[in-house]
Amino acid sequence: MFDRPMNSGGLIFAAISTNRGSWFAGWLAALAMVVLCGQLQAAGYVRCQLADGFDFPVGKPNADSYYKSRGYWPNGHLGEDWNGKGGGDSDLGDPIYSTARGVVVISENVGVGWGNCILIRHAYRDATGKIAMVDSLYAHLHQRMAKVGQTVEKGQLVGTMGGNNGMYLVHLHFEMRKNLRIGMNRSQFARDNSNYYSPTDFINKHRVLATSFQKYPIPLGLFSPYGRSAADAGSGGDITVRVPTLPTTRPNLPESGPSADDEDFWSKLRTRLKQGKMTEGVDTPP
């Protein structure tokens, strides 16, 4: 239930079962598990394995029968527009796939120029061996088939291609974001390579990645509050707006195995339970 290794629950039970056979010990164990569930859910994280590689969101595995009608360029078009080779609206309802394993962090009809959108957050091991995260955006969808908090696999159906209810010819607008704060408030951020990847370049460089059975905490939020900025007034989208970088402490992902904060959390919990205390004041894990 915690998406932690199975022995975590055993450690909790062992810590509170000093008086074996006591009904109170069993009751306290159940209570501790309920409290911990609430803490982890309130923290806004879903644990997920690292992505084992990235693929195109249409015509898997190599965008077969699709083409880029519009590419990515900084200070201009911040993603790629994908169309079926049949032209016009012949691709209405075509399947859209998750580019990699990850967690859905946005699934809603945003309206305006976006329409139905899904945003998926992916953790992966980069070329240096460190854990990094990236967001993939799928916009103008005809249907959304994934919910916030859901874990999805590479190539899993998450929506169908649309045109924002007739605003555009049917196509998929697809983005890859370095900056996890962007969400649906793109105007607050620099429209360049400091915040975005070229989707095709990123996918081609990360087709196959090292992974494991270890699960890592993926934050569901972090988005910047909606609001206008100097970027809205720029002509051609060439205004650069700098924003604070993400914090280096929370929510950092451990490079491998449980983090020091995780271990400290479980150690504190075991100590308090042995002392017959409730769990108030115990920090939640990162």
pLDDT in tens, 108-166: 999 889 999 999 999 999 999 999 999 999 999 999 999 999 999 999 999 999 999 88
Instruction: Report pLDDT for 166.
Output: 87
**All domains of the chain, ordered by start, with CATH?**
1-43+256-286 (no CATH), 59-237 (2.70.70.10)
Round to whole Å and give the CA distance between 264 and 216: 17
Instruction: Report pLDDT for 92.
Output: 97
Average pLDDT over residues 60-66: 93
Average pLDDT over residues 182-187: 92
pLDDT band at 231 (very low <50, low <70, confident <90, very high): very low
pLDDT band at 65 (very low <50, low <70, confident <90, very high): very high
Longest CA–CA separation in the chain, Å: 73
What does the radius of gyration of the chain's CA atoms come to, in whole angstroms?
22
Listed residue (29, 36, 82, 42) closest to 59, CA to CA: 82
Single-letter amino acid code for the residue at 96: I
More reliable by pLDDT, 235 or 128:
128
Listed residue (103, 81, 272) closest to 163, CA to CA: 81
Instruction: Report pLDDT for 207.
Output: 97
Burial letters 176-196, b for 16+ CB under 10 A, else e: bbbbbbbbbebbbbbbeeebb
Residue carrying structure tokens 């790629």: 80
Average pLDDT over residues 190-202: 97
The pTM (predicted TM-score) of the whole model is 0.67
Residue 78, Cβ density class (10 Å: 0-12 exposed, 13-18 middle, ≥19 buried):
buried
Average pLDDT over residues 43-55: 93
- Asked if the model's pLDDT at residue 215 lies above 60, the reply is yes
Round to whole Å and give the CA distance between 257 and 202: 26
Round to whole Å and give the CA distance between 129 and 229: 36
Round to whole Å and give the CA distance between 177 and 173: 13
Round to whole Å and give the CA distance between 114 and 168: 10
- Asked if the model's pLDDT at residue 102 lies above 70, the reply is yes
Residue 102, Cβ density class (10 Å: 0-12 exposed, 13-18 middle, ≥19 buried):
buried
Instruction: Report pLDDT for 267.
Output: 58
pLDDT band at 90 (very low <50, low <70, confident <90, very high): very high
Instruction: Report pLDDT for 229.
Output: 46
Average pLDDT over residues 17-44: 45
Average pLDDT over residues 224-246: 41
Instruction: Report pLDDT for 174.
Output: 98
Round to whole Å and give the CA distance between 33 and 13: 9
Round to whole Å and give the CA distance between 220 and 201: 26
Beta bridge partners, 197, equal 176
Average pLDDT over residues 33-54: 69
Instruction: Report pLDDT for 275.
Output: 57
Backbone phi and psi for residue 81, each to the nearest 5 degrees, phi listed first? -105, 120
Average pLDDT over residues 93-122: 96
**Token pair for 122:** 């992916």
- Asked if the model's pLDDT at residue 13 lies above 90, the reply is no
CB 220 within 8 A of CB 46: yes
Instruction: Report pLDDT for 112.
Output: 87
- Asked if the model's pLDDT at residue 24 lies above 90, the reply is no
Residue 61: cis peptide before it, omega within 30 degrees of 0 = yes
**Token pair for 75:** 């200070």
CB 207 within 8 A of CB 241: no
Mean predicted lDDT score pLDDT of the chain: 76
Q: H helices of the chain, where?
A: 7-16, 23-43, 199-205, 260-274
Least confident residue range of 80-89, 196-205, 236-245: 236-245
